[in-house]
Amino acid sequence: MQKGFIFDLDGTVYIDNQLIDGAKEAIEKLRKRGDKVVFLTNKSIETITAYVKKLRKLGIDVGWEHVINSNLLVAKYLSNRIHEGDKVMVIGEQPLIDELTAMGIPITDDETEASYVVLGWDRQFTYEKLNRAFQAWRNGATLLATNPDRTCPVEGGQIPDCGAMIGAMEGATGEKVELILGKPSPLAAKFIVEEILDLPPENCYIVGDRLETDIRMGNDYGMHSILVLTGITEKSMLRHSKYKPKYVINSIKEVPEITTDLDSKALGPLKK
Amino acid sequence: MQKGFIFDLDGTVYIDNQLIDGAKEAIEKLRKRGDKVVFLTNKSIETITAYVKKLRKLGIDVGWEHVINSNLLVAKYLSNRIHEGDKVMVIGEQPLIDELTAMGIPITDDETEASYVVLGWDRQFTYEKLNRAFQAWRNGATLLATNPDRTCPVEGGQIPDCGAMIGAMEGATGEKVELILGKPSPLAAKFIVEEILDLPPENCYIVGDRLETDIRMGNDYGMHSILVLTGITEKSMLRHSKYKPKYVINSIKEVPEITTDLDSKALGPLKK
């Protein structure tokens, strides 16, 4: 039976510029046996091209159609929804603007014109941008965001991610942002499973290092969730999390062997 | 019996640069009968001097000791707490920095040095400032904020206030800011009632136009709360709010007559 695999990138396939040991071989093994493989990241400050180049440089054969980021998810979502005359305000970096533009979505900086405001991680975020987005919301624009991540790991620590932009906006409006498109959004899961993998969710696996995004999305959408311990999550964090992976493995290397059939040979969620 | 009055400013005593009709006479009447009057604002982008000047220009006789803003509350709070070597990082505008400096509190921009981070309304807020405050928090600094207001009314609308800075920070940390010093903080109430008015709370009235700050603080601290309808709150909003004023009056003008003794002559909370 053909299976679909959604792999998270940073912490799962690579860490910074270092491929996780065995990642290349594991992915090749899955493809060789006929399974479909895609890559999904919440990060909104890189283009899909940059990810394709990076993966290829690390030895993983990949096409543009195999890489999905939260910018693409937002662009897809909006392209199905905007009507004649609708324009979109973007608080985010150039790759997000480029992805929307590539999909033919009209961009505006004018708070009186915007039907939607998209919030993405923006390292040039300012009060002026916040206020512009806030005024657009006051004028009736719908608020979307690329991804809910609070922080992004960087060398030596972490820095605020899109969660901070969402927080700033919610702090001003007193309302939740209408829709956050990246993991763990069920819309993201639906789009990838139905339109890219084209398989029933019960034939799909999500492999990632984050409980509240990767594992949660997999569980919520009826996929099989696999936690790898090469990223941000340590075994000890499992006990206190609401989001329990179906499988816990040391690294991506073990994915082919535990997914030879849908009766698990894995250890299952760790006890204690 | 001597009474204490805490008056909110914008929307209660004046709107922009226009005194509310009868405000001057009401305040003079209270003072003439021996009551104590102070003014309290959550706004952190003006100095106390600016408020004193403004009130005097509008005809209200007032000294520096009668005006309290959220910057002063933070400065007071920190001056009682910091120890030798403690330094404070400020995300906010110059009046907040000045108030802390005047109280002898050492300021730092260095994320490795800060024991506290104070968040105030900052119209020059940037990602770089957010990240600096976030790194200070990661290094163990305690987060405080001047005031919880989501927005500040301006001509023709409203713009994001300190609530947006708090939201941005909480969006990154995933934790609540430790303490917000302005209204409705019980620490603010305690400081004003005990140290400035020096009266029991049951002899004190808070008069303001905002349910979730003025009225809530008064009720929580055992004062008498009086809502004026000259500001942001309309009668229709009372029904859905958790925060019910003891008295509802049209404007500050009516304060002396409804507070001649502590058996109310006021209408009480509006029905319906």
Of A157, A164, A171, the CB nearest to B163: A171
Write the CB contacts of B82 (distance below 8 Å, at least 6 apart in sequence). B88, B105, B106, B115, B116
Q: Note the pLDDT of residue B155.
A: 80
Chain A CA closest to residue B148: A171
Cα dist from B131 to A119, A151, A164, whole Å: 17, 10, 10
Which residue type, as a one-letter code, is found at position B92? G
A-chain residues within 8 Å CB-CB of B138?
157-158
List B10, B122, B161, B214, catalytic entry: B10
Options 3.40.1830.10, 3.30.457.10, 3.40.50.1000, 2.40.10.220; CATH for B72-180 is 3.40.50.1000
Of A127, A163, A164, the CB nearest to B122: A127
Mutation site for B-interface testing, chosen from A125, A135, A176, A241 by largest number of B Cβ within 10 Å: A125
DSSP per-residue string spanning B152-209:
EEETTEEEE-HHHHHHHHHHHHSS--SEE-STT-HHHHHIIIIIII-S-GGGEEEEES
In this complex, do A123 and B127 lie within 8 Å of one another by their Cβ atoms? yes
* Phi, psi torsion values for B85, nearest 5 degrees: 95, -20
For the stretch A7-33, pLDDT in tens is: 999 999 999 899 999 999 999 999 999
- CA distance to partner chain B, nearest, from residue A251 (Å): 27
B10 carries an active-site annotation: yes
Write the CB contacts of A203 (distance below 8 Å, at least 6 apart in sequence). A1, A2, A3, A4, A262
Q: Note the pLDDT of residue A2.
A: 95
Per-position b or e across B119-155, b if 16+ CB within 10 A of its CB: bbbbbebbbebbbbbbbbbeeebbbbbbbbbbbbbee
Q: Return binding residues of B.
A: 8, 10, 183, 209
- Report residues of chain B scoring pLDDT below 70: 261-272
Give B180: exposed, middle or buried? Use CB within 10 Å, 0-12, 13-18, 19+. buried
In this complex, do A165 and B164 lie within 8 Å of one another by their Cβ atoms? no
Does residue A265 surpass a pLDDT of 70? no
Of A127, A131, A163, the CB nearest to B172: A163
For the stretch A161-177, pLDDT in tens is: 999 999 999 999 999 99
In this complex, do A159 and B125 lie within 8 Å of one another by their Cβ atoms? no
3-state SS, residue B268? coil
Please state whether B11 falls in left (phi above 0), alpha (psi between -120 and 50) or beta. left
Among chain B, residues having any CB pair with chain A shorter than 8 Å are 122-127, 130-131, 134-135, 138, 150-151, 157-161, 163-174
- CA distance to partner chain B, nearest, from residue A49 (Å): 26
Output the CA angle B186-B189-B193, nearest 5 degrees. Answer: 145
Q: Note the pLDDT of residue A262.
A: 53
Q: Note the pLDDT of residue B154.
A: 85
Instruction: State the Cα–Cα distance between residues B86 and B136, nearest whole angstrom.
Output: 13
Q: Note the pLDDT of residue A16.
A: 87
A258-263 contact pairs (CB < 8 A, 24+): A258/A226, A259/A3, A259/A5, A259/A30, A259/A35, A259/A205, A259/A224, A259/A226, A261/A1, A262/A1, A262/A202, A262/A203, A262/A224
Structure tokens at A203: 């034939």
Q: Note the pLDDT of residue A7.
A: 98
B-chain residues within 8 Å CB-CB of A125?
126-127, 130
- CA distance to partner chain A, nearest, from residue B124 (Å): 6
In this complex, do A172 and B160 lie within 8 Å of one another by their Cβ atoms? yes
Q: Do domains A4-42+184-258 and A71-180 have the same CATH topology?
A: yes
Chain A CA closest to residue B156: A135
Confidence of residue A154 (pLDDT cuts 50, 70, 90): confident
How many of the other CB atoms lie within 10 Å of CB of B264?
14
DSSP per-residue string spanning B232-262:
S--GGGTTT-S---SEEESSGGGHHHHTSSS
Confidence of residue A270 (pLDDT cuts 50, 70, 90): very low
B98 carries an active-site annotation: no
In this complex, do B131 and A159 lie within 8 Å of one another by their Cβ atoms? yes
For the stretch A199-247, pLDDT in tens is: 999 999 999 999 999 999 999 999 999 999 999 899 999 999 999 999 9
**Peptide bond connecting A184 to the previous residue in cis, omega within 30 degrees of 0:** yes
Hey, what CATH topology would domain B4-42+183-258 get? Rossmann fold (3.40.50)
- CA distance to partner chain A, nearest, from residue B149 (Å): 8
How many beta-carbon pairs under 8 angstroms link A with B?
98
Average pLDDT of every residue of chain A: 94
- How many helices and strands, by DSSP H and E, does chain B display? 9, 14
Hey, what CATH topology would domain A4-42+184-258 get? Rossmann fold (3.40.50)
Q: Note the pLDDT of residue B264.
A: 46
In this complex, do B167 and A170 lie within 8 Å of one another by their Cβ atoms? yes
- CA distance to partner chain B, nearest, from residue A123 (Å): 6
In this complex, do A130 and B125 lie within 8 Å of one another by their Cβ atoms? yes
Does residue A267 surpass a pLDDT of 60? no
- CA distance to partner chain B, nearest, from residue A174 (Å): 7
In this complex, do A127 and B123 lie within 8 Å of one another by their Cβ atoms? yes
Per-domain residue ranges for chain A?
4-42+184-258, 71-180
Going by the DSSP 8-state scheme, the letter that residue A253 receives in this structure is G
* Phi, psi torsion values for B91, nearest 5 degrees: -105, 100
Please state whether A85 falls in left (phi above 0), alpha (psi between -120 and 50) or beta. left
Instruction: State the Cα–Cα distance between residues B172 and B136, nearest whole angstrom.
Output: 12
Superfamily of domain A71-180: HAD superfamily/HAD-like (3.40.50.1000)
Percent of chain A with pLDDT over 70: 96
In this complex, do B171 and A163 lie within 8 Å of one another by their Cβ atoms? yes
Mutation site for A-interface testing, chosen from B130, B154, B169, B241 by largest number of A Cβ within 10 Å: B130
In this complex, do B125 and A126 lie within 8 Å of one another by their Cβ atoms? yes
Chain B CA closest to residue A169: B164
List A10, A35, A161, A214, catalytic entry: A10
Chain B CA closest to residue A124: B127
Instruction: State the Cα–Cα distance between residues A123 and A51, nearest whole angstrom.
Output: 19
Q: Return binding residues of B for substrate.
A: 183
Residues across chain A: 272
3-state SS, residue A135? helix
